[in-house]
Amino acid sequence: MSSIDPKTARFETRAIHAGQSPNPENGALMTPVYFNSTFAQPAPGEPLLGYEYSRTTNPTRTALEENLASLEGADWGLCFASGMAAIDTLMSLANPGDHIVAGIDLYGGTYRLFTKFFQRYGVKFTFVDTTDLAATEAALNEAGSTLKYLYIETPSNPMLGITDIEACARLAHAAGTHLVVDNTFASPFLQSPLAMGADLVLHSCTKYLAGHSDAVAGAIVGNDPALREEIAFYQNTCGGQLGPMSAFLVMRGTKTLALRMERHSENAMAIAKFLESRDEVDKVIYPGLESHPAHALATKQMRSYGGMISFELKSGVPGGKAFSMATQVFTLAESLGGVESLVEVPPIMTHASIPAAERQAAGMADGLVRLSVGVEHIDDLLADVERGLIAAAAAK
């Protein structure tokens, strides 16, 4: 364990030190990467420090789990091979006939997992606009005694909807269920769902936590020891654990999370304002803009507004494709949250698995463009966005 006091140390300090301390044997500052599948035991069934097999626990992964738990203000954390492996574990705790109420605006991979896999095993899903608290409460009440989770993303992917976490926690608990918050877009630096009443917080650590587009990982953090035991049992049984090298890379990333999120947010705000001023753009979706319908709520529950922007071009689908292929600093690629800026067209990339009618019901236009704004110099980014807009205007 680190020697810092987690109750008094600020976020930036915990990001660097929580879960980590110099090796007492040789003074090594960085947590070693323990490339071990198994560990020697001094006596049968008596593993040293609880380590016997790396599917179950690994010292590098333990350090990351303690680090992430500290950043989210949680008592425990568990790390997985990917964000989807973490979601799969949560869903696998549901029984046939259980009911999950989820946001209508979800990452396409999450929606695919829910509808293509778990529905066929008898798990029921109701997708609702969770920014509408009355509709959310009605869906929870309709599910009744079969309710397993209320599952939300905020900000959501890709429409950047902002759901009231505190209000949803009250609704979930009144309905006798757990609130699960996917905090990937905000990161623990910008938003603390557990402090607002959430029961479990989930991350694709691949994104902002790792921050360098070089590791794939997922995490679940929480405070309830019974939930931890249930989740850890399933993870160990099915083997969705995170390898030590990826754990090390994510832990390296969290050390600079605060610095990066400040620059991501600063750059994104400047680009969002620039896009809003341009005639080629029909609509800009960014929680930091006063034009965002939940700007006041985002200001209340987030430290800043993050690095993600979605927007619609007047030239529609052709314009979106042209924009995404014309940029030079923004790379056309899926994923998000790295130091480099990325651009994509969600309806034909990350959210292609969602039927068109359901995308449109969630407000997702076919020509929607999503930017993951990196930490490059803002002048270069603005010039690149303008390059894309010129190409979009010329598209037919």
pLDDT in tens, 234-267: 999 999 999 999 999 999 999 999 999 999 999 9
| 185/200 same-domain check | yes
Task: Provide the 8-state DSSP code for 136.
Answer: H
Does the annotation count 370 as an active-site position?
A: no
- Listed residues 232, 254, 276: the one ending a domain: 254
Q: Is 88 within a domain?
A: yes
Residues above pLDDT 90, as percent of the chain = 87
| 212/266 same-domain check | no
- Catalytic entry in 61, 148, 207, 370: 207
Does the annotation count 129 as an active-site position?
A: no
| 249/298 same-domain check | no
Please give the helix or strand (H or E) that residue 174 lies within, else none: helix 165-174
- pLDDT (0 to 100) of residue 264: 98
* Beta-bridge mates of residue 150: 101, 179
Return the closest-CA partner of residue 250 out of 338, 138, 142.
338
Does the annotation count 207 as an active-site position?
A: yes
Side chain identity, residue 196: M
| 277/248 same-domain check | no
- pLDDT (0 to 100) of residue 384: 98
- pTM recorded for the entire structure: 0.94
| 250/264 same-domain check | no
Paired tokens of 312: 């619609």
| 114/245 same-domain check | yes
Q: Which residue has the tokens 């976490």?
A: 165
Tens of pLDDT, residues 189-246: 999 999 999 999 999 999 999 999 999 999 999 999 999 999 999 999 999 999 999 9
| Burial 363-379, CB ≥16 within 10 A → b, else e | bbbebbbbbbbbbbebe
1 band by pLDDT with thresholds 50, 70 and 90: very low
CA distance linking residue 326 with residue 313, whole number of Å: 14
Does the annotation count 182 as an active-site position?
A: yes
| 246/383 same-domain check | no
Tens of pLDDT, residues 326-379: 999 999 999 999 999 999 998 777 667 677 777 777 677 778 999 999 999 999
Q: Specify whether the CB–CB gap between 325 and 312 falls below 8 A.
A: no
Q: Which residue has the tokens 């915990």?
A: 14
- Listed residues 254, 281, 308: the one ending a domain: 254
CA distance linking residue 336 with residue 261, whole number of Å: 13
- Catalytic entry in 88, 105, 182, 384: 182
- Listed residues 202, 220, 254: the one ending a domain: 254
Q: Is 5 within a domain?
A: no
CA distance linking residue 365 with residue 279, whole number of Å: 18
Q: Is 6 within a domain?
A: no
Task: Provide the 8-state DSSP code for 114.
Answer: I
CA distance linking residue 316 with residue 56, whole number of Å: 49
CA distance linking residue 335 with residue 346, whole number of Å: 11
- Catalytic entry in 53, 55, 214, 283: 55
Return the closest-CA partner of residue 11 out of 325, 370, 260.
260
**Which domain does 219 fall in, by range?**
11-254
Q: CA 278, 279, 285 angle in degrees (round to 5)?
A: 60
Number of domains in the chain: 2
| 145/290 same-domain check | no
| 113/180 same-domain check | yes
Q: Is 111 within a domain?
A: yes
Q: Is 3 within a domain?
A: no
Which CATH number is 316's domain given? 3.90.1150.10
| Strand order from edge to edge, sheet including 200-204 | 76-80, 218-222, 200-204, 178-182, 147-153, 99-103, 124-128
Packing angle between helix 165-174 and helix 133-143, nearest 10 degrees? 20
Collect all residues with Cβ–Cβ distance below 8 Å to 187 and sequence separation of at least 6.
203, 207, 208, 209, 257, 261, 306, 337
Packing angle between helix 378-394 and helix 316-326, nearest 10 degrees? 140
* Per-residue three-class SS string for 223-291: CCHHHHHHHHHHHHHHCCECCHHHHHHHHHHHCCHHHHHHHHHHHHHHHHHHHHCCCCEEEEECCCCCC
| 168/271 same-domain check | no
| 240/269 same-domain check | no
Per the prediction, the chain carries an average pLDDT of: 94
- Catalytic entry in 14, 88, 98, 107: 107
| 134/264 same-domain check | no
